[in-house]
């Protein structure tokens, strides 16, 4: 995978500056990690050489169950509570068509993210009960 060392170094410098420029001594004392902050930053998604880390075969971040699914993603647009309500209808329809279980990704922004989080992480009730009946 191609790396962007200059961008990586710039982000590290920015994070170091942000953590050292806090004016509150209590804020600095509250965050005292035992190890340095480690992160991976992937760029180039629009380049032909790019492989998404979660689907790169043999990579460190591969999620095998994603490789078994077709390259289908579901996107729910934002717009506050109305977006969440409309997205619920879309998810209900896609669930009834067995598309949600086949999709690799579910993404959202703004108000629809409230629905996405609940849909993706709730495990108290079956999805058909969570989505409700089609009327």
Q: What is the pLDDT of residues 19-61, one digit of tens each?
A: 555 555 555 556 677 777 777 777 888 888 888 888 888 888 8
Q: Write down the residue that tokens 């409700």 correspond to.
A: 132
Joined together, the tokens standing for residue 125 give 């009730």
For Cα atoms 65, 88, 101, give the angle at the middle one, nearest 5 degrees: 20
In this predicted structure, what is the pLDDT of residue 7? 57
In this predicted structure, what is the pLDDT of residue 34? 78
In this predicted structure, what is the pLDDT of residue 134? 77
Three-state DSSP class for residue 75? strand
HSE-CB of 78 using CA atoms within 13 angstroms: 5
In this predicted structure, what is the pLDDT of residue 17? 60
In this predicted structure, what is the pLDDT of residue 36? 77
For 64-108, write each residue's pLDDT tens digit: 888 888 888 999 998 888 888 999 999 999 999 999 888 999 999
Higher pLDDT, 97 or 7: 97
């Amino acid at each position: 995978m191609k790396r962007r060392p200059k961008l990586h170094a710039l982000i590290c410098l920015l994070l170091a500056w942000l953590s050292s420029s806090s004016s509150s001594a209590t804020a600095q004392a509250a965050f005292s990690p035992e190890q340095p902050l480690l992160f991976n930053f992937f760029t180039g998604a629009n380049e032909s050489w790019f492989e998404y880390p979660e689907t790169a075969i043999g990579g460190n971040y591969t999620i095998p169950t994603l490789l078994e699914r077709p390259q289908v993603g579901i996107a729910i647009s934002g717009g506050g509570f109305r977006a969440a309500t409309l997205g619920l209808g879309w998810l209900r329809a896609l669930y009834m068509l067995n598309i949600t279980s086949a999709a690799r990704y579910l993404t959202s922004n703004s108000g629809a993210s409230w629905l996405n989080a609940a849909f993706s992480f709730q495990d108290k009730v079956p999805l058909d009960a969570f989505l409700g009946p089609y009327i």
